[in-house]
Amino acid sequence: MFDLNEKPPLVSLAPMAGVTDIPFRRQVKAFGGQYCVSEMVASDQLARARIDMVRRAAGSGVISPLVIQLAGRDPAWMAEGARLAEAAGADVIDINMGCPAKSVTSGLCGSALMREPDHAMTLVEATVNATKLPVTLKMRLGWDDKSLNAPEMAKRAEAAGVRMLTIHGRTRSNFSAASPIGPRSHQWLKPSPSQ
């Protein structure tokens, strides 16, 4: 099993739908990239064997470590997605709470979960409890400047068993703006006492 403590990624390739497919991740690995995350995989569609989601989750024996990013809004589907990803050879499961796309957030997935911390934590717990693999989480600072709840959600995710957090330095409302909301957003980023 891949050990995040033994070999923590200092730099990782962010998952991007339509970009971080297997050929792209192989190229990144060939140039020395150590931690490359798959395209976002909809957990319910993976469970229904939708071919594009199965293709996004592929890579066992080709990409190592194989990090599969799951997205969803239903704890049962997230758990099933985690089990299927593990069975497909994943080394790490990553949960998406960072995607700002309207097509994702309108379905209460991706960064929309930053508006629903309690619901988001049911997804985290279901995913962690469904697999023996390390589970990581990608999220934003919050939904907007008035709801910078990443510190609270990070603590709760760690308590639920998340092994590594990646925080996109913008809110969903910033979308992919040229500059993040500013240095104040990073004041709380300190190692946890448990590390």
* Token pair of 138 as six digits: 């990608």
For helices 150-160 and 117-130, give the axis angle rounded to 10 degrees: 30
Angstrom distance (rounded) from CA 167 to CA 150: 8
Retrieve residue 192's tokens: 């946890």
- Asked if 156 contacts 25 with a C-beta cutoff of 8 angstroms, the reply is no
Q: In terms of DSSP H, where are the helices of 74-193?
A: 75-87, 102-105, 117-130, 150-160
Is 36 catalytic? The answer is: no
Q: Retrieve residue 4's tokens.
A: 């995040």
Residue tagged active-site, from 57, 78, 99, 139 = 99
Give me the active site residues, please: 99
